[in-house]
Amino acid sequence: MHFAQRASILFVAAGLTATVAASATADEPAAVSGADTTLTTGTLPPSDVTLPGGTGPTPAAAAPSTASTTSTTPPTLPTPEEVPPDNGPEPQVYHGRIQIPVIELDAPYIEGIRISTLDYGPGHWPGTAMPGELGNVVVAGHRTSHNADFRNVDQLQAGDEVIFDLDDSQGVEDDRATVPTPDTYTGRYVYEVVSVEIVPPDALWIVNQEYRHTATLFACHPPGSVSERIVVHLDLVDETGEPVDPPRPATTTTTAVATG
């Protein structure tokens, strides 16, 4: 993500209200302080603010229905951590690599969404699903500073591949990131772009977890500005290229695709 100046951005998600201090560089993630609400398992509290264009917030995911004669406990969804209270340094934990062939991206995939992490590569929002898991894998990245890993995500179209290679041993070049011990995350997972949209900066619903295998990439938009966020929605596909989940429900919402 990127920020043009030090500013305060208000994030409101139900009872979660926090002031976001934007850093002085032109491409830094927001740091939130003052959050006074603990997130519930599986989803952030839905916002009570209607998004532009009549698009309301995503409701909390409903557990899959089960037959009345069967007592089945649905799997527990991941719980996203709250927005970091600051943009200070944090340990650089390396998970593998994220690759987007169509925009020639091959970058380290690191844990965390603070600036100190995104300076080295796209970062995984702590508490959201990991690649291949049930739920929503949420990943942030820079568009203009350092490697500008997500600079060209506005060029992505439906069907483009995003690959998470958790077996790749090539980390950050100067060993600033460490591999977890033991490293429990393995495998190579391919997701396909479903849609690209532009949302307000307080759209915390993008980290909501649901009973599907999805992923979300996000960064500030347009490049050099903090006025909006560009969001790329992905679905996990199998080795034949077919989605692992049933088709998404039909929607009448118009998706705004970035143009630059």
User: DSSP string of 48-88?
Assistant: SSPBGGGBPPPPPPPPPP--TT---PPPPPP-PPPPPS---
Please, which residues have CB within 8 angstroms of residue 53's CB and are 6 or more apart in sequence?
253, 254, 256
- Above pLDDT 90, what percent of the chain? 51
Is residue 124 one of the residues assigned to a domain?
Answer: yes
Q: Are 44 and 204 in contact (CB under 8 A)?
A: yes
* pLDDT, position 163: 98
Q: Tell me: pLDDT of 145 over 90.
A: no
For the ranges 9-18, 59-68, 201-210, the maximum mean pLDDT occurs at 201-210
* pLDDT, position 146: 86
The number of CA neighbours under 13 Å toward the Cβ of 133 is: 21
Is residue 200 one of the residues assigned to a domain?
Answer: yes
Q: Are 133 and 201 in contact (CB under 8 A)?
A: no
Q: Tell me: pLDDT of 7 over 80.
A: no
Domain count, the chain: 1
Is residue 151 one of the residues assigned to a domain?
Answer: yes
Residue predicted with more confidence, 140 or 63 = 140
Is residue 203 one of the residues assigned to a domain?
Answer: yes
Is residue 62 one of the residues assigned to a domain?
Answer: no
Mean residue pLDDT of the chain comes to 75
Q: Poorest-confidence range of 55-59, 121-125, 212-216?
A: 55-59
Is residue 211 one of the residues assigned to a domain?
Answer: yes
Average pLDDT on 26-49 reads 36
Q: Are 109 and 122 in contact (CB under 8 A)?
A: yes
Query: What is the domain-level CATH number for residue 133?
Result: 2.40.260.10
Q: Tell me: pLDDT of 190 over 60.
A: yes
Quick one: which of 201, 59, 80 has its CA closest to 135? 80
Is residue 190 one of the residues assigned to a domain?
Answer: yes
Structural domain that includes position 195 = 90-237
> Is the pTM higher than 0.75?
no
Please, which residues have CB within 8 angstroms of residue 109's CB and are 6 or more apart in sequence?
94, 95, 96, 97, 98, 121, 122, 124, 139, 164, 166
Is residue 37 one of the residues assigned to a domain?
Answer: no
